[in-house]
Amino acid sequence: MSEQPAPAPVPVLPAEVADALKRDAAGLVAAVVQQFDTNEVLMLGWMDDEALRRTMTSGRVTFYSRSRQEYWRKGDTSGHVQWVKSVALDCDGDALLVRVDQVGAACHTGTRTCFDGRGLPVVAGDAGAAGNAS
Amino acid sequence: MSEQPAPAPVPVLPAEVADALKRDAAGLVAAVVQQFDTNEVLMLGWMDDEALRRTMTSGRVTFYSRSRQEYWRKGDTSGHVQWVKSVALDCDGDALLVRVDQVGAACHTGTRTCFDGRGLPVVAGDAGAAGNAS
Protein backbone atom coordinates (compact mmCIF):
# COMPACT_ATOMS: atom_id res chain seq x y z
CA MET A 1 0.00 0.00 0.00
CA SER A 2 1.21 3.47 -0.75
CA GLU A 3 1.63 5.75 2.18
CA GLN A 4 -0.97 8.43 2.58
CA PRO A 5 -0.42 11.63 4.50
CA ALA A 6 -2.35 11.69 7.73
CA PRO A 7 -5.47 13.82 7.45
CA ALA A 8 -5.19 17.20 9.08
CA PRO A 9 -6.88 17.19 12.47
CA VAL A 10 -10.21 18.97 12.51
CA PRO A 11 -9.92 21.86 14.93
CA VAL A 12 -12.37 21.66 17.80
CA LEU A 13 -13.13 23.54 20.96
CA PRO A 14 -11.10 22.55 24.01
CA ALA A 15 -12.99 19.73 25.72
CA GLU A 16 -13.38 21.64 28.98
CA VAL A 17 -15.08 24.47 27.11
CA ALA A 18 -17.29 22.23 24.99
CA ASP A 19 -18.32 20.28 28.09
CA ALA A 20 -19.33 23.48 29.88
CA LEU A 21 -21.64 24.76 27.14
CA LYS A 22 -25.37 24.44 27.71
CA ARG A 23 -26.69 24.69 24.16
CA ASP A 24 -30.31 25.32 23.19
CA ALA A 25 -32.30 22.99 20.95
CA ALA A 26 -30.54 24.49 17.93
CA GLY A 27 -27.08 23.91 19.43
CA LEU A 28 -26.50 27.58 20.19
CA VAL A 29 -25.58 29.78 23.14
CA ALA A 30 -26.25 33.51 23.41
CA ALA A 31 -23.29 35.85 22.97
CA VAL A 32 -23.51 39.31 24.54
CA VAL A 33 -21.08 41.68 22.85
CA GLN A 34 -19.77 44.55 24.94
CA GLN A 35 -17.41 47.41 24.10
CA PHE A 36 -14.36 46.72 26.28
CA ASP A 37 -13.58 50.28 27.41
CA THR A 38 -17.01 51.88 27.80
CA ASN A 39 -18.93 48.72 28.80
CA GLU A 40 -21.68 49.54 26.28
CA VAL A 41 -23.74 46.49 25.35
CA LEU A 42 -23.48 46.55 21.57
CA MET A 43 -25.56 43.59 20.42
CA LEU A 44 -26.51 39.99 21.06
CA GLY A 45 -25.64 37.21 18.65
CA TRP A 46 -25.61 33.43 18.67
CA MET A 47 -22.73 30.96 18.56
CA ASP A 48 -22.41 27.25 18.09
CA ASP A 49 -19.20 25.42 19.00
CA GLU A 50 -17.48 26.32 15.74
CA ALA A 51 -18.40 30.01 15.89
CA LEU A 52 -17.03 30.13 19.43
CA ARG A 53 -13.85 28.33 18.38
CA ARG A 54 -13.26 30.82 15.58
CA THR A 55 -13.95 33.72 17.93
CA MET A 56 -11.51 32.38 20.53
CA THR A 57 -8.72 31.73 18.06
CA SER A 58 -8.88 34.36 15.32
CA GLY A 59 -9.12 37.72 17.09
CA ARG A 60 -12.40 38.45 15.29
CA VAL A 61 -15.98 37.68 16.32
CA THR A 62 -17.86 35.05 14.33
CA PHE A 63 -21.55 34.35 14.92
CA TYR A 64 -23.95 31.73 13.70
CA SER A 65 -26.98 33.28 12.03
CA ARG A 66 -30.23 31.67 13.14
CA SER A 67 -32.14 33.17 10.22
CA ARG A 68 -29.62 32.46 7.47
CA GLN A 69 -28.21 29.30 9.09
CA GLU A 70 -24.64 30.19 8.28
CA TYR A 71 -21.54 31.62 9.91
CA TRP A 72 -20.87 35.30 9.63
CA ARG A 73 -17.74 37.07 10.71
CA LYS A 74 -18.74 40.51 11.91
CA GLY A 75 -17.38 43.23 9.67
CA ASP A 76 -16.62 41.19 6.57
CA THR A 77 -19.39 42.96 4.68
CA SER A 78 -19.78 46.21 6.60
CA GLY A 79 -16.21 46.82 7.70
CA HIS A 80 -17.57 47.12 11.23
CA VAL A 81 -15.14 44.63 12.70
CA GLN A 82 -15.24 43.43 16.29
CA TRP A 83 -11.73 42.83 17.65
CA VAL A 84 -11.84 40.31 20.47
CA LYS A 85 -10.49 41.40 23.85
CA SER A 86 -11.87 38.62 26.06
CA VAL A 87 -14.54 35.94 26.22
CA ALA A 88 -16.20 34.57 29.36
CA LEU A 89 -18.78 31.81 29.81
CA ASP A 90 -21.41 32.34 32.47
CA CYS A 91 -22.09 30.20 35.53
CA ASP A 92 -24.63 27.94 33.85
CA GLY A 93 -22.98 27.74 30.46
CA ASP A 94 -25.69 29.22 28.24
CA ALA A 95 -24.31 32.72 27.72
CA LEU A 96 -21.03 34.23 26.59
CA LEU A 97 -19.75 37.72 27.31
CA VAL A 98 -17.55 38.81 24.43
CA ARG A 99 -15.66 42.03 25.08
CA VAL A 100 -14.48 43.70 21.91
CA ASP A 101 -13.20 46.84 20.31
CA GLN A 102 -16.00 47.71 17.90
CA VAL A 103 -15.14 49.51 14.67
CA GLY A 104 -17.97 51.89 13.77
CA ALA A 105 -21.58 50.87 14.24
CA ALA A 106 -22.40 47.50 15.77
CA CYS A 107 -25.94 47.54 14.36
CA HIS A 108 -26.77 46.87 10.73
CA THR A 109 -29.21 49.79 10.95
CA GLY A 110 -26.27 52.15 11.47
CA THR A 111 -26.70 52.87 15.17
CA ARG A 112 -23.81 52.29 17.53
CA THR A 113 -25.67 49.53 19.39
CA CYS A 114 -28.64 47.37 18.43
CA PHE A 115 -30.59 48.80 21.37
CA ASP A 116 -30.18 52.53 20.68
CA GLY A 117 -33.49 54.39 20.53
CA ARG A 118 -35.45 51.18 21.07
CA GLY A 119 -36.63 51.66 24.64
CA LEU A 120 -39.91 50.15 25.81
CA PRO A 121 -42.29 51.92 28.20
CA VAL A 122 -41.59 50.72 31.73
CA VAL A 123 -42.53 51.42 35.30
CA ALA A 124 -39.15 51.98 36.90
CA GLY A 125 -38.37 50.25 40.17
CA ASP A 126 -37.33 52.27 43.17
CA ALA A 127 -35.72 50.70 46.20
CA GLY A 128 -36.43 53.78 48.28
CA ALA A 129 -40.12 53.92 47.49
CA ALA A 130 -40.61 50.19 47.81
CA GLY A 131 -38.81 49.79 51.09
CA ASN A 132 -36.54 46.88 51.82
CA ALA A 133 -36.93 43.84 49.62
CA SER A 134 -37.77 40.73 51.53
CA MET B 1 -80.32 34.45 33.99
CA SER B 2 -78.55 36.02 36.92
CA GLU B 3 -76.08 38.72 36.16
CA GLN B 4 -72.46 37.77 36.45
CA PRO B 5 -69.65 40.24 36.97
CA ALA B 6 -67.53 40.66 33.89
CA PRO B 7 -64.29 38.70 34.14
CA ALA B 8 -61.26 40.80 34.86
CA PRO B 9 -59.27 41.42 31.70
CA VAL B 10 -56.13 39.32 31.45
CA PRO B 11 -53.16 41.67 31.32
CA VAL B 12 -51.09 41.30 28.18
CA LEU B 13 -48.14 42.96 26.56
CA PRO B 14 -48.90 46.00 24.40
CA ALA B 15 -49.57 44.70 20.89
CA GLU B 16 -46.74 46.71 19.35
CA VAL B 17 -44.29 45.08 21.75
CA ALA B 18 -45.67 41.57 21.34
CA ASP B 19 -45.62 41.96 17.56
CA ALA B 20 -41.96 43.00 17.62
CA LEU B 21 -40.72 39.99 19.61
CA LYS B 22 -38.89 37.27 17.70
CA ARG B 23 -39.25 34.34 20.07
CA ASP B 24 -37.25 31.11 19.90
CA ALA B 25 -38.85 27.69 19.60
CA ALA B 26 -39.61 27.78 23.33
CA GLY B 27 -41.30 31.19 23.07
CA LEU B 28 -38.44 33.05 24.73
CA VAL B 29 -36.16 35.99 24.05
CA ALA B 30 -32.77 36.59 25.68
CA ALA B 31 -32.58 39.29 28.34
CA VAL B 32 -29.20 40.90 29.00
CA VAL B 33 -29.14 42.50 32.44
CA GLN B 34 -26.82 45.46 32.90
CA GLN B 35 -26.05 47.61 35.94
CA PHE B 36 -27.37 51.03 34.97
CA ASP B 37 -24.57 53.21 36.36
CA THR B 38 -21.42 51.14 35.77
CA ASN B 39 -22.62 49.36 32.59
CA GLU B 40 -21.44 46.01 33.99
CA VAL B 41 -23.13 43.06 32.29
CA LEU B 42 -24.53 41.18 35.27
CA MET B 43 -26.21 38.13 33.77
CA LEU B 44 -28.34 36.79 30.97
CA GLY B 45 -31.81 35.39 31.55
CA TRP B 46 -34.81 34.45 29.44
CA MET B 47 -38.24 36.01 29.15
CA ASP B 48 -41.50 35.03 27.57
CA ASP B 49 -44.26 37.58 26.98
CA GLU B 50 -45.55 37.36 30.53
CA ALA B 51 -42.12 37.69 32.15
CA LEU B 52 -41.50 40.77 30.01
CA ARG B 53 -44.89 42.22 30.91
CA ARG B 54 -44.19 41.78 34.61
CA THR B 55 -40.73 43.31 34.21
CA MET B 56 -42.13 46.32 32.34
CA THR B 57 -44.91 46.99 34.82
CA SER B 58 -43.70 46.03 38.30
CA GLY B 59 -40.32 47.70 38.74
CA ARG B 60 -38.69 44.31 39.37
CA VAL B 61 -37.14 41.85 36.92
CA THR B 62 -38.96 38.57 36.31
CA PHE B 63 -37.42 35.80 34.19
CA TYR B 64 -38.70 32.54 32.83
CA SER B 65 -36.52 29.64 33.92
CA ARG B 66 -35.77 27.27 31.05
CA SER B 67 -34.61 24.53 33.42
CA ARG B 68 -37.41 24.80 35.98
CA GLN B 69 -40.06 25.99 33.49
CA GLU B 70 -41.44 28.58 35.84
CA TYR B 71 -41.33 32.31 36.47
CA TRP B 72 -38.87 33.66 38.96
CA ARG B 73 -38.67 37.18 40.22
CA LYS B 74 -35.04 37.97 40.86
CA GLY B 75 -34.35 38.51 44.54
CA ASP B 76 -37.43 36.86 46.02
CA THR B 77 -35.28 34.08 47.47
CA SER B 78 -31.85 35.70 47.68
CA GLY B 79 -32.80 39.28 48.43
CA HIS B 80 -30.65 40.25 45.45
CA VAL B 81 -33.33 42.33 43.81
CA GLN B 82 -32.98 43.94 40.39
CA TRP B 83 -34.76 47.30 40.25
CA VAL B 84 -35.72 48.12 36.68
CA LYS B 85 -34.38 51.34 35.20
CA SER B 86 -35.11 50.75 31.50
CA VAL B 87 -35.82 48.03 28.96
CA ALA B 88 -34.96 48.09 25.26
CA LEU B 89 -35.67 45.58 22.50
CA ASP B 90 -33.01 45.12 19.86
CA CYS B 91 -33.28 45.72 16.12
CA ASP B 92 -34.36 42.19 15.26
CA GLY B 93 -36.54 41.56 18.29
CA ASP B 94 -34.77 38.58 19.85
CA ALA B 95 -32.88 40.30 22.66
CA LEU B 96 -33.74 42.66 25.48
CA LEU B 97 -31.39 44.99 27.32
CA VAL B 98 -32.65 45.42 30.87
CA ARG B 99 -30.83 48.11 32.82
CA VAL B 100 -31.20 47.73 36.56
CA ASP B 101 -29.93 48.68 39.95
CA GLN B 102 -28.66 45.34 41.29
CA VAL B 103 -28.79 44.71 45.02
CA GLY B 104 -25.80 42.60 46.05
CA ALA B 105 -24.61 39.75 43.87
CA ALA B 106 -26.33 39.06 40.56
CA CYS B 107 -24.99 35.49 40.42
CA HIS B 108 -26.36 32.65 42.49
CA THR B 109 -22.74 31.61 43.11
CA GLY B 110 -22.19 34.83 45.04
CA THR B 111 -20.12 36.74 42.51
CA ARG B 112 -21.22 40.18 41.40
CA THR B 113 -21.81 39.02 37.82
CA CYS B 114 -22.35 35.58 36.32
CA PHE B 115 -19.21 36.05 34.21
CA ASP B 116 -16.72 36.97 36.95
CA GLY B 117 -13.63 34.75 36.95
CA ARG B 118 -14.97 32.67 34.07
CA GLY B 119 -12.75 33.84 31.24
CA LEU B 120 -11.89 31.51 28.37
CA PRO B 121 -8.46 31.43 26.71
CA VAL B 122 -8.53 33.62 23.62
CA VAL B 123 -6.26 35.04 20.98
CA ALA B 124 -6.98 38.74 21.26
CA GLY B 125 -7.61 40.72 18.10
CA ASP B 126 -5.50 43.74 17.31
CA ALA B 127 -6.49 46.28 14.70
CA GLY B 128 -2.97 47.67 14.62
CA ALA B 129 -1.28 44.34 14.01
CA ALA B 130 -3.86 43.15 11.53
CA GLY B 131 -3.95 46.29 9.45
CA ASN B 132 -7.14 47.70 8.07
CA ALA B 133 -10.10 45.38 7.92
CA SER B 134 -11.45 44.92 4.46
B9 or A53, which is more confident: A53
User: Is the distance from CB of A129 to CB of B88 less than 8 angstroms?
Assistant: no
pLDDT tier, A2 (very low <50, low <70, confident <90, very high otherwise): low
Please report the pLDDT score of residue B130 as a whole number: 52
Instruction: Write the residue in B87, B101, B114 that is nearest to A120 by C-beta.
Output: B87
B129 or B34, which is more confident: B34
Backbone angles phi, psi at B22, to 5 degrees: -110, 95
How far is B71 from A31, CA to CA, in rounded Å?
23
- List pLDDT tens digits, range B83-122: 999 999 999 999 999 999 999 999 999 999 999 999 999 9
Please report the pLDDT score of residue B129 as a whole number: 63
How far is A101 from A103, CA to CA, in rounded Å?
7
Task: Tell me whether residues B95 and A134 touch, CB distance under 8 A.
Answer: no
Strand extents, DSSP E, chain B: 29-35, 41-47, 62-65, 70-73, 82-89, 95-102, 119-120
Q: CB neighbours of B82 closer than 8 A, spacing ≥ 6? A: A125, B33, B42, B60, B61, B74, B75, B98, B100, B101, B102, B103, B106
How far is B28 from A76, CA to CA, in rounded Å?
30
- List pLDDT tens digits, range A63-113: 999 989 999 999 999 999 999 999 999 999 999 999 999 999 999 999 999
Which residues are paired to B72 by β-bridges?
B63
Helical ranges in chain A per DSSP H:
15-20, 49-58, 127-130
pLDDT tier, A6 (very low <50, low <70, confident <90, very high otherwise): confident
Instruction: Give A-chain residues touching B40 at CB under 8 angstroms.
Output: 39
User: Is the distance from CB of B40 to CB of A39 less than 8 angstroms?
Assistant: yes
The domain limits of chain A are 27-116
Q: Which residues of A are annotated as a binding site?
A: 90-92, 94, 107, 114
Interface test with B, best of A13, A94, A97, A102 (most B CBs within 10 A): A97
The CATH code for residues B27-116 is 3.10.20.810
Task: Tell me whether residues B124 and A84 touch, CB distance under 8 A.
Answer: yes
Task: Tell me whether residues A89 and B118 touch, CB distance under 8 A.
Answer: yes
Summarize the confidence of residues B15-43 as an average pLDDT.
Answer: 97
